[in-house]
Structure 1
Amino acid sequence: MTAADHMAGFLARQSRQRVDFDALAGAADQGDSSLPCSPGRRQVLADAAHELVRRGLARLPAGQNGWDYSAHPPLPLWVKRPSLPRTTRTRPGPRAWVPQLSGLAAVQLTPGDHVLLDPVNALLRDRPDAEVVPVAERSYELYGDEKYLHGIERHRLVTRGILDVTVHLRARPASAPLAMYELGPAPWMLIVENSAAFTSLREVLGGWPDRDQVGWLGYGAGDQLIASLPTAVDAFRERDHPVDRLLLYADLDLDGLECARQADVRGRRAGLPALLPAVGLYRALLTRTARVVPTVPAARLREAVSWLPLDMASEVFDLLACGRVLRQEALPLPVLRARLDPAVPLLAQL
């Protein structure tokens, strides 16, 4: 499926006429794990937006105010679904809900809610103890579409605690696994956000003279880390190689820091240690030349940098508040290799 296909599927599930393009881009990212890190991502998204127009599924903003011109090609800030002819709708009559869904009797449900809930009601009536399977498998079984339940955790009935994915849908998330490499026996893992920095660190750590000092190396793949980090629990158990220290080295920008905070929360819920900043690598990165970008709200910055140690948080806040960021690519392999000294304990340097 193409990026446009994933966007079209997401668009079809929306109830509002106007849909933020960030949400559509997120649907494309979810459908293609290589897209978030692709240098051509922006062009792919732009082409997909125009493909939606060609299919008659969306209209793009008419004025300049509806576009993001921060990079090329420009991207719409939102799209509008075409207006549908007005029809007279008959509100569905009362349903005989199974006991597990009895709370729905007190909720005002839309026709779309009934499309979602009727197969769930039948499942709980006929197979209340059905084995819990990945969400996409249950989605295909109940709706004939593996993508239908994508994002179900954000549905208002789920966020209000009325519908439970595990208890009622008998399903569980099946996030793409975290890419992990066991480079040595040490009980720690360093996760690296970008592919270039990951490749450089894999070369340096893979050739570390004292193998007992080296542990796991993980590839975070940008925002996908938030969903994939809990899968590390299984890998540690399967290899009988647990960790007591989790480190993250990501870009020093708003997205990288917000991703770190969210991944930390998800990881700890899964039973992992706290996700800590790789302070040594960040210190090295802070000596490099920053890149200029549009500024972002100070309130979001303060919350994002709170993941860092206090002294570093202040320094990074000042950097980002001035519209400057540091990408991992600013610390290339030769500099990285020179900064990591085999005569000094490795973990202390990270």
Structure 2
Amino acid sequence: MTKTEVTILDRLDQEMLEALRFRASAGKRSSARRHKLTMSDFKEIHRDVYRTSPVDAFESREILKCLERLENQGGIRQMEKTDKERLELPMNLWVYSPPPPAEPEVTMPPLHEKMGRVAHEWNRKAKQLTAYVAVNEWLMSDPDPTLIPLCERALEIFGKRKFTTYFSEPEKAFREISFGWLFSDQQYMRDFLDILKSEPPLLTEVYLAKAGKRGYASMDRGDILFVVENYTTCWSMAEALRTMDHGLGHLAWGIGKSFVSSVRSIRPDHGVAAIRYFGDLDASGLAIPIRANAQARAAGLPPVLPAVKLYDALFELGTPLPGKEKPVTRDRAEELAGWLCERHRDRAVELLIKGERLAQEWVGLRHLCMANAWHADVR
């Protein structure tokens, strides 16, 4: 057998190669094509995998055979310097990382008339082609052309289970792609996809120099502090609230986990009599208000309560999708879901133990402007 021939490794050889890769790459740059390993490490792993002993008279011969098999397969390469023994073994060797998995072939679907230019770009990577497929499917569905914010449109386009391989948080998909005729020009993309520009607030929607109100978008109507986990939904709520009566004194962007700490910045002179919260339905999205509620209680503040009607809407409008977070145990899921109102707990537990999530952007600007049920959360 020549060095260029490729062999099929048996179970033990495959186990050996995986162990070599694990040992050689430990604490090193994971993206490197190869890693150096000493012969002493190789021998230790060889004895563990093949159940040999250092006193075995044929150990060096078996190691040479193993080296040849692994090198023929392309998993390792022996370095030239040897130990000068009767059966010479290399002092060191290169252990090659496994080749990246082949990208799945993405078939070009029948194209919407607005997507004709895609046909000339069907040599791109699978993730990029999947983005085109998602947009094409959205156009084919005769979508509502009403302008909505970027994250809400992204969720509408990419919020399907089949796209989560490449877009695990579909509401953030447009942050990950910037190629080709459609996605490289942000203004062109917004016009093409009917996207309404919405920027996160720096500190407040209306920056106030008045002491005691920094960090909030002041509504100057009531005594409720309403906190929203993500800025897009906070922006959409602010837009919808402009034309309705409500009891909010402040609308706050929680900035994800930051709310756990920032809740303690509320002082008596802020006039906050109630705190309501709306966020993603996943493990971290529920842990935030639970921890913030504990901080509020310790500071003598009102409890952090769920926006019940908005969570109603999230369960109704949202599509549960696999998320980045791992499934949690049922006990942990019940602990997290316990913060929600009783009618939401069982469904939340089922989401959490499956490792699925509902992004709060499913409750978007269109719903907030058209529906009335959620008004109870802000009064």
Query: TM > 0.5 between the two?
Result: no
- Structure whose alpha-carbon radius of gyration is higher: 2
TM-score, with normalisation over the residues of structure 1?
0.45
TM-score using structure 2 length: 0.41
